[in-house]
């Protein structure tokens, strides 16, 4: 830890992010990593409660946008996978050969998917006739059922989602929330009459993500992924990346326009108003516990977590001080708790018989937005002391306390967003450019570890490969916010508004 | 269906319960059973929403009783099972030999458990070093962690719960909610300083179950299970049975007092205030989607489901009538919906452009407690028409509508409970008694299919075996509500207040 300075209370400094992150998720009581399977952590109540609050935000968005919540089985029989494999291998081969998928023969099977899942092969002491895998995502089980449910245009659009556990046989190093083997997962799947219907859904997904990110005080980069990084079977993939303090980007949401590619594989069609059979068009939208990982990584500091008020299990911690001096302190604290709960806040009264310093430490590490102290003198003066987790200690009146608290919670959210924007403006820098030399391409100045590079890019796949190879970074794809005016492409020099990013991705 | 009369709208009559139940769970849109693995149904939005409302009732009880929600991994490495197997085989052998468990050698392994779980043996294309099973319940994963968490008496009591998917390699015939292979499961696990602490928890569990059953309008039989039907490793098991209309009992909740038997196996101990190491005492409390199965089976009728207001996704369906005649009908319906939602009711406006009969049919099958119709004439008279799913059509004023609705929802709950009590009084009858003849025991009159028999029983295990063999039924165990006065035991003739039941269990 030398270069990063001394650990505070056993927490590595956040400047040493790769040490800070794995430490803080346990110290702040979100998870316990000692469960004897790597990448499968135990969710502790504080972590699970935070995750469930994130889920609540998602569910609210789903309800308001007319999605309905389903719950599909976890296990998928291997033979259901055939259709998916054929689809994926066809599209992959088509992409490699640069031809239309429909021109291909279906004689090659891509087993890539099979390498990434857990297999259930035995029930009791019996070998199963057909092995089953634990869903990594639910296209296959869902579309098998969708093709039974969708008959006519009146059945469309079909807008579904579920929040479930999914699994991935992960061989890379695992990290809590960020790369795990049992994944707390949200997936929305929709079916539409035509491409336009699916496109409108993708637009709605984009708006939902924007609102969710705002609730989480999280600036993000939204990009249309390059074709080689598109989800199997998708026409195009839009991905949402958060920049972590170590300069690595974390993909926290994706939405995919499938056109009718999956529908063809799963015989998902409908009878239109004229009695003709039409293929459906589909979209998916996925997020996961990575949202929590991004919240932890983006907002925390040397002293612990800082949770956005929208998802903090307790927004206000009430602490009686010197309650033995005045027996009115505890009843007043309980009254305030009741008042604040009545106003819809999530409140916790910490009346443990320990020193105030211990309580502060406890809730600082856990990132509770506001601590409220009330002692005998405060009681006399009809006031209390608020400590904001983002900094600052303020005396406020007990009159209109809910309104005051509301204002400070808004301030905290704003502070978190502004801090993140500031951090991003340091972490995301202009690409230094490359030049063509006799010996080939050369960087104009060296790539710095921990930086995301922004650049104008309008080249082809070969140009992209040059960029990725010389930088050792990955292109995130076309940013949905292009440059307001054309500037020269970093490779071709052609004027373009296409903004892209080069980053090391998680 | 001959003897049961004609099916109504494609629904078999409820008197033919074994046909009615599997039909109604699909017709009412709770699940779709066409998923290609038997015993793993797809939860449709209406069913999932009802289940989540049942979960909400449970979560509320957990919160109020000081339990915290965790989420443990689904997969359990086989080697963790050793401790559990040793415990179970020791207790089982001790029971068979009639000796104290501590006197036994640990050289016999019971593989019974292994026969009932699904095994993950492969990750991708690799055989796993240690096979993992899908949790059927979480003693093993939880207690492995508890032994890391509990150090001193200050850590106790530890009161945990989770609501998760569990799995059972079920070889018997599957039935939606009642016997499935992926189970939506609630499990509470608590750790206490001593036997008394655990006993108090069991008492609290009993109270929680009583409140939940009241919310579900469900009379139940609560029994301390006979020793041969006690959960492995438990000191004693209390089980809650609902009597289904076919006279079979459905076990819908259990709570177990473990004393320190599991704690010994998992090295779960603590340092007391004097610095001595003490074994912990434990309890568990389990419920599942069977709660929904019981709700469906107990309350439904020939026309479909009847959902108790506490867990009905929509408590009130608002239906505009002849809205084309008066353009004020729709705005008024929307106002009423807003008003009722503001009062905390779950409300759905069915403004589909179909005939009122179609809407009635739709919501009758789905068991919505109240349908509210409002047409032009109602508007003029400032009234509306309520149809109660339990029967009755009433004109009510639009003044104080929330209050009126509240009263009718209470009436519906009361009606459901009273109907169920009446049904139970027909389904549960006095045991005819048996007599000792030269040729052995004989029933005084034949056992009738579909009846639960109540009896005074104070015999030993051999007597119980006689009873079960001659009736072909199972003893549910000592009912927690004994007879108020002693009556003769059905076998021994000794006076006893011990009430028991003989039933065919699901």
Domain count, chain B: 3
A145 in the same domain as A259: yes
Give the separation between CA A467 and CA A453, rounded to whole angstroms: 11
Helix (H) or strand (E) holding B360: helix B356-365
Could you tell me which residues come within 8 angstroms of residue A315 by beta carbon, excluding any fewer than 6 positions away? A309, A345, A346, A347, A368, A369, A370, A405, A409
Residue B102 maps to a domain: no
Q: Are residues A284 and A324 in the same domain?
A: no
Min distance A196 CA to chain B CA atoms (Å): 25
Residues A278 and A382 grouped into a single domain? no
What CATH number does residue B365 fall under?
3.40.50.800
In-domain check, residue A116: no
Are both B58 and B182 inside the same structural domain?
Answer: yes
The residue to which tokens 């165990």 are assigned? B477
B181: nearest Cα among B18, B17, B36, B27: B36
A123 with B121: Cβ contact below 8 A: no
Phi, psi dihedral angles at A303 (to 5 degrees): -95, -5
Q: Are B71 and B186 in contact (CB under 8 A)?
A: no
Taking a C-beta distance cutoff of 8 angstroms, is the pair B81, B140 a contact? yes
- Considering B379, B411, B443, which residue would you say is the last residue of a domain? B411
* Residues of chain B found within 8 Å of residue A32, distances taken between Cβ atoms: 145, 148-149
Q: Does B171 share its domain with B263?
A: yes
How high is the pLDDT of residue A149?
Answer: 98
CA angle A174, A177, A182 (to 5 degrees): 70
Residue A97: per-residue pLDDT: 61
Indicate the average pLDDT of chain B. Answer: 93
Confidence check: pLDDT of B98 > 70: no
Distance, CA of B215 to CA of A5 (rounded, Å): 58
CB contact under 8 A, B169 and A124: yes
Domain assignment present for residue A209? The answer is yes
Shortest CA distance from B145: residue in chain A: A35
Q: Is residue B348 part of a domain?
A: yes
Residue B3 pLDDT level (bands cut at 50, 70, 90): low
Q: Is the pLDDT of residue B107 over 50?
A: no
Output B353 or B363, whichever has higher pLDDT: B363
Contact status, residue A197 vs residue A156, Cβ threshold 8 Å:
yes
Q: Are residues B332 and B285 in the same domain?
A: no
| Measured CA angle at B408 (ends B407, B411), to 5 deg | 90
Q: What local confidence, expressed as pLDDT, does residue B313 receive?
A: 98
Distance CA B409, CA B403 (A): 10
Q: What letter does residue B447 receive in the DSSP assignment?
A: P
Helix, coil or strand: residue A264: helix
Of A115, A145, A167, the CB nearest to B42: A145
CB A309 within 8 A of CB A369: yes
Instruction: Write out the DSSP string of B161-198.
Output: EEEEEEE----SPPBTTTB-SEEEEEEEEEEESSHHHH
Integer CA distances (angstroms), B404 to A9, A483, B312, B340, in order: 59, 60, 18, 11
Same domain, B284 and B330: no
Residue B478 lies in a domain: yes
Q: How far is B165 from chain A (nearest CA, A)?
A: 9
Q: What are phi and psi of B392, to 5 degrees?
A: 105, 140
Residues B333-351, mean pLDDT to the nearest whole number:
97
Quick one: which H or E segment has residue A501?
Answer: strand A499-505
- Counting Cβ atoms within 10 Å, is residue B463 exposed (0-12), middle (13-18) or buried (19+)? middle
CB A310 within 8 A of CB A427: no
> What is the reported pTM?
0.95
Residue A26's domain comprises 20-74+135-299
Indicate whether B33 pLDDT > 50: yes
Please list every residue in chain A whose beta carbon sits closer than 8 Å to the beta carbon of residue B174: none
Q: How many residues does chain A have?
A: 506
DSSP state of A446: P
- pLDDT tens digits, B44-80: 999 999 999 999 999 999 999 999 999 999 999 998 8
Which of B35, B77, B184 comes nearest A36 by C-beta? B77
Vertex A110, ends A107 and A114: CA angle to 5°? 140
Nearest Cα to Cα of residue B178 among B163, B188, B168, B187? B168
The residue among A1, A69, A461 whose CA lies nearest residue B53 is: A69
Measured CA to CA, the distance from residue B407 to residue B413 in angstroms comes to: 10
Q: Which of B237, B282, B270 is nearest to B142 (CA)?
A: B282
Could you tell me the CATH number of the domain that includes residue B64? 3.30.930.10
φ/ψ bin of B257: left (φ > 0), alpha (ψ from -120 to 50), beta (otherwise): beta
- What is the DSSP pairing of strand B316-320 with strand B370-374? parallel
Average pLDDT of the residues in B392-419: 97
The last residue of one of the domains, among A409, A438, A453, is: A409
A183, A117 Cβ separation under 8 angstroms: no
Same domain, B147 and B176: yes
Q: How confident is the model at residue B110 (pLDDT cuts 50, 70, 90)?
A: very low
Average pLDDT over residues B429-446: 92
Q: Are residues A327 and A207 in the same domain?
A: no
Q: How many helices (H) and strands (E) does chain B have?
A: 12, 28
Domain boundary among B364, B385, B411: B411
Half-sphere exposure of B500 (CA within 13 A, CB side): 25
Please list, in sequence order, all residues whose beta carbon lies within 8 angstroms of the beta carbon of residue A55, skipping any fewer than 6 positions away.
A163, A186
Q: Is A122 on the interface with B (CB under 8 A)?
A: yes
Encode pLDDT of A236-251 as tens digits.
Answer: 999 999 999 999 999 9
> What chain A residue is nearest to B144 in terms of C-alpha separation?
A35
Q: Is residue B293 located within the same domain as residue B225?
A: yes
Answer yes or no: is pLDDT of B361 > 70: yes
The three-state (H, E, C) secondary structure of B250-294, written as one string:
EEEEEEEEEECHHHHHCCCEEECCCCCEEECEEEEEEEECHHHHH
From chain A, the residues in CB contact with B41 under 8 A are: 73
Q: Is pLDDT above 50 for B108?
A: no
Per-residue model confidence as pLDDT tens for chain A (506 residues):
445 555 667 899 999 999 999 999 999 999 999 999 999 999 999 999 999 999 999 999 999 999 999 999 999 999 887 777 677 666 666 666 665 554 443 343 444 677 899 999 999 999 999 999 999 999 999 999 999 999 999 999 999 999 999 999 999 999 999 999 999 999 999 999 999 999 999 999 999 999 999 999 999 999 999 988 888 889 999 999 999 999 999 999 999 999 999 999 899 999 999 999 999 999 999 999 999 999 999 999 999 999 999 999 999 999 999 888 899 999 999 999 999 999 999 999 999 999 989 999 999 999 999 999 999 999 999 999 999 999 999 999 999 999 999 999 999 999 999 999 999 999 999 999 999 888 889 999 999 999 999 999 999 999 999 999 999 999 999 999 999 999 999 999 999 999 999 999 99
SS3 B51: helix
Q: What is residue A107's predicted lDDT score, i.e. its pLDDT?
A: 40
Per-residue pLDDT of B196-221, as tens digits, reads: 999 999 999 999 999 999 999 999 99
Answer whether A482 touches B (CB < 8 Å).
no
**Residues A191, A328 within the same domain:** no
Residue B306 · residue B389 · CB < 8 Å: yes
pLDDT at position B106 is 39
Q: Is A127 touching B (CB cutoff 8 A)? A: no
Predicted local confidence at residue B437, as pLDDT:
87
For residue B305, is it within any domain? no
- Residue B175 CB partners (closer than 8 Å, separation 6+): B21, B22, B293, B506
- Rg of chain B over Cα atoms, rounded to whole angstroms, equals 26
d(CA B134, CA A75): 11
Domain-embedded: residue A28: yes
Say if the Cβ atoms of A35 and B141 lie within 8 Å.
yes
Are A186 and A292 in the same domain? Answer: yes
Instruction: Report the distance separating Cα A384 and Cα A371, nearest Å.
Output: 10
Helix (H/G/I), strand (E/B), else coil: B389: coil
**8 A C-beta contact, residue A455 and residue A200:** no
| Beta strands B383-388 and B393-397, pairing class | antiparallel
B1: pLDDT strictly greater than 50: no
CATH number at residue B465: 3.30.110.30
Residue A287 lies in a domain: yes
Task: Nearest chain B residue to A74 by CA: give it.
Answer: B182
């Amino acid at each position: 830890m030398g270069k990063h300075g001394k650990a505070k209370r056993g927490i590595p400094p956040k400047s040493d992010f790769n040490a800070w992150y794995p430490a803080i998720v346990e110290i702040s009581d979100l998870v316990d990593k000692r469960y004897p399977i790597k990448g499968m952590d135990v969710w502790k109540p504080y972590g699970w409660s935070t995750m469930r609050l994130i889920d609540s935000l998602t569910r609210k968005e789903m309800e308001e946008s007319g999605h309905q919540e389903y719950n599909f089985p976890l296990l998928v029989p291997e033979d259901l996978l055939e259709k998916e494999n054929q689809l994926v291998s066809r599209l992959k081969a088509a992409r490699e050969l640069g031809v239309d998928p429909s021109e291909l023969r279906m004689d090659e099977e891509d087993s890539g998917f099979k390498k990434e899942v857990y297999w259930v092969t035995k029930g009791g002491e019996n070998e199963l006739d057909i092995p089953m895998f634990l869903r990594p995502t639910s296209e296959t089980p869902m579309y098998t059922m969708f093709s039974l449910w969708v008959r006519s245009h009146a059945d469309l659009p079909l807008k579904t989602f579920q929040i479930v556990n999914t699994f991935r046989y992960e061989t890379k190093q695992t990290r809590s929330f960020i790369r795990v083997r049992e994944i707390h997962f949200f997936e929305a799947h929709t079916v539409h009459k035509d491409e336009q219907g699916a496109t409108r859904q993708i637009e709605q997904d984009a708006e939902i993500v924007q609102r969710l990110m705002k609730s989480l005080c999280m600036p993000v980069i939204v990009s249309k992924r390059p074709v080689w990084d598109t989800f199997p079977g998708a026409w195009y993939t839009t991905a949402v990346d958060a920049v972590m303090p170590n300069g690595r980007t974390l993909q926290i949401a994706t939405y995919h326009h499938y056109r009718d590619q999956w529908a063809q594989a799963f015989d998902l069609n409908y009878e239109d108003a004229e009695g003709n059979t039409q293929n459906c068009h589909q979209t998916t939208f996925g997020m996961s516990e990575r949202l929590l990982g991004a919240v932890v990584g983006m907002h925390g500091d040397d002293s612990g977590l800082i949770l956005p008020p929208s998802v903090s299990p307790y927004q206000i911690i009430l602490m009686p001080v010197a309650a033995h001096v005045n027996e009115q302190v505890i009843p007043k604290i309980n009254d305030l708790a009741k008042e604040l709960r009545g106003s819809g806040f999530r409140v916790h009264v910490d009346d443990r018989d320990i020193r105030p310093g211990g309580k502060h430490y406890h809730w600082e590490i856990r990132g509770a937005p506001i601590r409220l102290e009330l002692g005998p003198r405060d009681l006399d003066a009809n006031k209390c002391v608020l400590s904001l987790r983002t900094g600052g200690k303020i005396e406020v009146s007990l009159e209109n306390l809910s309104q005051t608290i509301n204002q400070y919670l808004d301030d905290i959210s704003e502070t978190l967003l502004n801090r993140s924007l500031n951090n991003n403006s340091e972490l995301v820098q202009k690409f230094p450019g490359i030049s063509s030399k006799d010996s080939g391409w050369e960087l104009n100045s060296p790539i710095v570890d921990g930086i995301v590079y922004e650049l104008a890019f309008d080249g082809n796949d070969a140009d992209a490969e040059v960029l990725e190879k010389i930088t050792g970074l990955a292109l995130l794809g076309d940013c949905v916010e292009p440059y307001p005016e054309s500037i020269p492409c970093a490779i071709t020099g052609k004027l373009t508004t296409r903004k892209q990013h080069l980053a090391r991705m998680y």
